[in-house]
């Protein structure tokens, strides 16, 4: 993956606009967070292959970045994104890696199911 740059990634998001696409979205602080620090409230969410269509998709922030996708009936957003890649299947992979290089969030868009 490469560090996100506004002028590179915004056009990639736009290629998925106004199409039936599949979304992978996850946030995680790891299954051991509360084991390591008992005061830590562990929380995360995971959705894979949600079929959606958005009419507007925006990359914002100075880094780490945010992405918001406006749908007919709702929203999808992700924050803390740092890196991106178009993989060999043409999918847009966005990820947020923390200082230790661990994945904290992933937002991925694909025209075909993951």
Partner 1 sequence: MNKKPILVIFPHPDDESFGVAGSLIQWSNQGIPVTYLCLTLGEMGRNMGSPIFATRETLPMHRKQELQEASRLAGIKDLRMMGYHDKTIEFEDKDALADVFIHVIHELNPQLVITFYPGYSVHPDHDACGAAVVRALEKLPSQDRPLLHCVGFSHNIVDDLGKPDVIRDVSDVIDQKLAVLAAHTSQTAPIIKELKQNPSLQERFKTEEFWTYSFDQ
Binding positions for partner 1, rule: CB under 8 A: 1, 24, 26, 28, 30-32, 35, 38, 46, 83, 85, 87, 91, 93, 95, 97, 100-104, 106, 108, 114
Specify the DSSP element, H or E, that contains 8.
helix 6-14
Residue 35 or residue 55: which is nearer to partner 1 going by CB?
A: 35
Task: Report, in Å, the least distance between residue 59 CB and partner 1.
Answer: 18
Residue 32 or residue 77: which is nearer to partner 1 going by CB?
A: 32
Specify the DSSP element, H or E, that contains 93.
strand 92-97
């Amino acid at each position: 993956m490469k560090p996100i740059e506004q002028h590179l990634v915004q056009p990639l998001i736009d290629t998925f606009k106004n199409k039936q696409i599949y979304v992978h979205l996850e946030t995680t602080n790891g299954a051991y967070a509360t084991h390591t620090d008992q005061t830590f409230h562990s929380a995360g969410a995971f959705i894979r292959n949600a079929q959606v269509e958005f009419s507007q998709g925006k990359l914002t922030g100075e880094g780490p970045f945010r992405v918001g996708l406006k749908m007919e009936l709702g929203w999808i957003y992700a924050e803390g994104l740092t890196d991106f890649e178009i993989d060999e299947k043409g999918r847009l992979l966005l990820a947020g890696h923390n200082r230790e290089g661990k994945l904290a969030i992933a937002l991925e868009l694909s025209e075909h199911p993951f």
